[in-house]
């Protein structure tokens, strides 16, 4: 989810810059908030970032002509995104389990 939350606002700002559209600060805040909300639903769907980028661009009133460009490079972006999502979720899980005193270090450090 971490990579998806960063990816959506990047697509929107990229589209705005390509078409010469100035985004005010409030629009940037809305884009970031929508990116975070949409990332919760798209992280587990293969290729879902392409659809969500189209949704975000449509909501922000940006041209949808950029979506095929995103689709063309999405395969290259998706692999590092998956790695970042899995790593972030694992770090979060271990941190919370450790803080809650629920982490069994014997099992965690076991080499099987």
In this predicted structure, what is the pLDDT of residue 112? Answer: 64
pLDDT tens per residue, range 68-101: 988 998 888 888 888 888 888 889 999 999 999 9
In this predicted structure, what is the pLDDT of residue 25? Answer: 95
pLDDT tens per residue, range 44-69: 777 888 888 899 999 999 999 999 98
In this predicted structure, what is the pLDDT of residue 49? Answer: 83
pLDDT reading at 1 higher than 70: no
This prediction has a pTM of 0.74
DSSP 15-78: HHHHTTPPPPHHHHHHHHHHHHHHHHHHTTSTTHHHHHHHHHHHHTT--GGGHHHHHHHHHHHH
Question: 10: which 2 tokens?
Answer: 């990047």
Helix 25-42 to helix 48-59 angle, to the nearest 10 degrees? 150
């Amino acid at each position: 989810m971490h990579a998806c939350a960063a990816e959506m606002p990047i697509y929107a700002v990229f589209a705005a810059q390509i078409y010469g559209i100035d985004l005010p600060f409030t629009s940037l805040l809305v884009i970031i908030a929508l990116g975070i909300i949409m990332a919760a639903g798209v992280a587990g769907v293969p290729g879902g970032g392409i659809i969500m980028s189209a949704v975000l661009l449509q909501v922000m009133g940006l041209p949808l002509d950029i979506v095929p460009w995103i689709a063309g490079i999405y395969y290259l972006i998706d692999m590092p995104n998956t790695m970042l999502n899995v790593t972030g979720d694992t770090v979060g899980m271990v941190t919370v389990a450790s803080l809650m005193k629920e982490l069994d270090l014997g099992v965690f450090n076991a080499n099987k």
